[in-house]
Chain A
Amino acid sequence: MAQRKAFRWHIMVFLAPAVLVYTAIMIVPLFGTLNLSLFNTTEEGRVFVGLKNFATLFGDPRWSERFWNALGNNAWFFLVHMLVQNPVGVALAALLSSPRLRGAAFYRTAIFIPTILSFVIVGFVWKLILSPIWGIAPGMLDAVGLKGLFAPWLGREGSALTTLALISVWQFVGIPMMLIYAALLSIPDEVIEAAEMDGVTGWSQFWKIKLPLILPSIGIISILTFVGNFNAFDLIYVTQGALAGPNFSTDILGTFLYRTFFGFQLQIGDPHMGATIATAMFGIILLGVSLYLFTVHRRLRRYQF
């Protein structure tokens, strides 16, 4: 006992590959990017400029207009997800988990299919369906007598972003559905039986008994949606291109970062401003996640069965 244990090399061997790859490819570049945002290129090469890039991003009207536009659009994109994706997901999960429902496995599998498709597929498929040239959407609206409602939604400044957000909701509704479904299944039968003994059934059972029990899951889904939405890029890029048209009305932080960093058409890519935008996104995500962890997450009550 007095002798100190030999150094346990095997722990190092087990940990090293994961820690090394993760550090080298993820953490170092992340901090490298944060660091790059403090530099700029001038005639003398790379110069340290402190927070000047951020002053440009937030202060220079050419940049700040785009930035606030992208941030606002991103916030709306997230809001649509919270207001549509999560309630629909919860409702579907509640229906799926109703006892003695036949074909639940089939519904579950089918509703999850859009989630596994790539943005490229989803973006183009919806672009085709909503296209006035093909006429599937107007034709279907015509069949129910609502042809007047049709408009080229993706091509109009007012509706393009909301349409894209709804497409994204269509794609990802499977995730909240599955997670909530799992949470609902894990509620023990005794709790439900006790509620039934007290005459709490149907809707009121859902609101008063089940919903409070699945709140932690809804919290986790919200924060996952937040992180996912604030670094979204693919769907907008595929359907509207890097310029996020019409007239930047669908520009979100991801497409703004891509354009700035990589360049497009006549604008040359600028790694330093790109890094500045990435840092701003990092700050936004960090702020959102910590806000959630320190306020909402703490107050959620967890029940142990």
Chain B
Amino acid sequence: MSQARNSTARSLAAHAVLILYTAIALFPVFVVVVNSFKNRRAIFADPLAVPTADTFDLIGYRTVLAQGDFFLYFQNSLIVTVASLFFVLLFGAMAAFALSEYRFRGNTLTGLYLALGIMIPIRLGTVAILQMMVASGLVNTLTALVLVYTAQGLPLAVFILSEFMRGVSDDLKNAGRIDGLSEYTIFFRLVLPLVRPAMATVAVFTMIPIWNDLWFPLILAPSEATKTITLGSQVFIGQFVTNWNAVLAALSLAILPVLVLYLIFSRQLIRGITAGAVK
């Protein structure tokens, strides 16, 4: 009896702590989104209240959409993220396949060389990267960002994908070889579909830092036409500091797409972290 009561009490305590922490994690996001729908007076009078018919106001959103070129920023972010993701996944998977499938001289060395980038941040090379981009005329282009993010994402992608590719059955690949498939067909037709879950994990891990990065857009592509949404909202909010409606609306607009994507992919992400960490 006492055992049962004890465990109920313990589980209640666990829930209490977790609910408390969940509240801490979500509260700031909640406050910002809720207040972005209120008029100025209500934002200050009662920041914690949800908007009512009286206080509901979309003035902030109207300002944001009229002033900032958020659709363009959003489009830039989307292009950069999707293109970088494509190259990271394609090149990463190819290299991972070569490293995990074939034995050749320099295999371990190449693996280590590529893995270096996991520990050493690409930002430290910024000075020379900027000079290189200036020299090749790529400053203020999205291409510069795609190149940098591809290089940045590759080390982790190769590392995770080669772990997974070692698990693909040899019999299957050898059966393909006996049937006369080329190595390329084996890779694209047999192996890639089998590591799709791992690819999704890598995709999520690669995507978040690219979408959220401020450093490289700020240094390599700060022009109006190439601003990403992260840089765009940073600049916009900096200019509109005193217009609380606009700032709150801009923040909500920046939060929303990420949040929706996260809720769609959260299971994949969590499975990925859990699977990777067990190794």
Q: Are A32 and B214 in contact (CB under 8 A)?
A: no
Confirm or deny: B155 has a beta carbon within 8 angstroms of a beta carbon on chain A.
yes
With CB as the reference atom, state the residue of chain B lying closest to A293. B119
Collect the chain A residues with CB atoms within 8 Å of residue B244's CB.
Answer: 128, 134
A29 to B131, CA, bound (A): 9
Confirm or deny: B32 has a beta carbon within 8 angstroms of a beta carbon on chain A.
yes
With CB as the reference atom, state the residue of chain B lying closest to A167. B28
Q: Are A30 and B262 in contact (CB under 8 A)?
A: no
Give min CB distance, B35 to chain A, whole Å: 9
Q: Known contacts being A29-B128, A30-B128, is A289 close to B230, with CB within 8 Å?
A: no
Collect the chain A residues with CB atoms within 8 Å of residue B276's CB.
Answer: 182
Q: Contact mask B7-21 → A, CB, 8 Å, 1/0?
A: 000110011011001
Confirm or deny: B29 has a beta carbon within 8 angstroms of a beta carbon on chain A.
yes
Q: Contact mask A1-32 → B, CB, 8 Å, 1/0?
A: 00000001011011101110110111111111
Q: Known contacts being A10-B184, A26-B152, A29-B128, is A262 close to B219, with CB within 8 Å?
A: yes
Collect the chain A residues with CB atoms within 8 Å of residue B124's CB.
Answer: 30, 33, 231, 278-279, 281-282, 285
Q: Are B151 and A25 in contact (CB under 8 A)?
A: yes
Q: Are A18 and B114 in contact (CB under 8 A)?
A: yes
A96 to B21, CA, bound (A): 12
Which of B62-70, B192-200, B247-255 is near enough to bind chain A? B247-255
Confirm or deny: B212 has a beta carbon within 8 angstroms of a beta carbon on chain A.
yes
Q: Are A118 and B214 in contact (CB under 8 A)?
A: yes
Q: Are B125 and A26 in contact (CB under 8 A)?
A: yes
Confirm or deny: A261 has a beta carbon within 8 angstroms of a beta carbon on chain B.
yes
With CB as the reference atom, state the residue of chain B lying closest to A136. B47
With CB as the reference atom, state the residue of chain A lying closest to B23. A110
A144 to B259, CA, bound (A): 31
Q: Are B47 and A139 in contact (CB under 8 A)?
A: yes
Q: Are A19 and B110 in contact (CB under 8 A)?
A: yes
A183 to B273, CA, bound (A): 10
Q: Are A95 and B102 in contact (CB under 8 A)?
A: no
Q: Are A11 and B98 in contact (CB under 8 A)?
A: yes
Q: Known contacts being A92-B18, A111-B21, is A185 close to B98, with CB within 8 Å?
A: no
A117 to B29, CA, bound (A): 10
Task: Give residues of chain B (19-56) contacting chain A, Cβ–Cβ below 8 Å.
Answer: 21-22, 24-26, 28-29, 31-32, 43-44, 47-48
Q: Known contacts being A22-B151, A111-B21, is A285 close to B121, with CB within 8 Å?
A: yes
Interface centre among A101, A124, A274 (most CB of B within 10 A): A124
Q: Are A110 and B104 in contact (CB under 8 A)?
A: no
Collect the chain B residues with CB atoms within 8 Å of residue A275's CB.
Answer: 127-128
Give min CB distance, B23 to chain A, whole Å: 9
Task: Give residues of chain A (152-193) contacting chain B, Cβ–Cβ below 8 Å.
Answer: 170, 173-174, 178-179, 181-183, 185-186
Q: Are B273 and A98 in contact (CB under 8 A)?
A: no
Number of interface residues of A (CB under 8 A): 90
Q: Which residues of B contact A (CB under 8 A)?
A: 10-11, 14-15, 17-18, 21-22, 24-26, 28-29, 31-32, 43-44, 47-48, 87, 90-92, 94-95, 97-99, 102, 104, 110, 113-114, 116-117, 119-132, 147-148, 150-152, 154-155, 158, 182-184, 187, 208, 211-215, 219, 230, 233-234, 237, 244, 247-248, 251, 254-255, 258-259, 262-263, 266, 269-270, 273-278
Collect the chain B residues with CB atoms within 8 Å of residue A111's CB.
Answer: 21-22, 25
Q: Are A121 and B277 in contact (CB under 8 A)?
A: no
A178 to B184, CA, bound (A): 36
Collect the chain B residues with CB atoms within 8 Å of residue A285's CB.
Answer: 119-121, 124
Collect the chain A residues with CB atoms within 8 Å of residue B125's CB.
Answer: 26, 29-30, 32-33, 278
With CB as the reference atom, state the residue of chain B lying closest to A96. B18
Q: Are B114 and A32 in contact (CB under 8 A)?
A: no
Q: Known contacts being A19-B114, A118-B212, A124-B251, is A135 close to B258, with CB within 8 Å?
A: no
Confirm or deny: A268 has a beta carbon within 8 angstroms of a beta carbon on chain B.
no
Q: Are A26 and B117 in contact (CB under 8 A)?
A: yes
Collect the chain B residues with CB atoms within 8 Å of residue A11's CB.
Answer: 98, 102, 104
Q: Are B187 and A14 in contact (CB under 8 A)?
A: yes
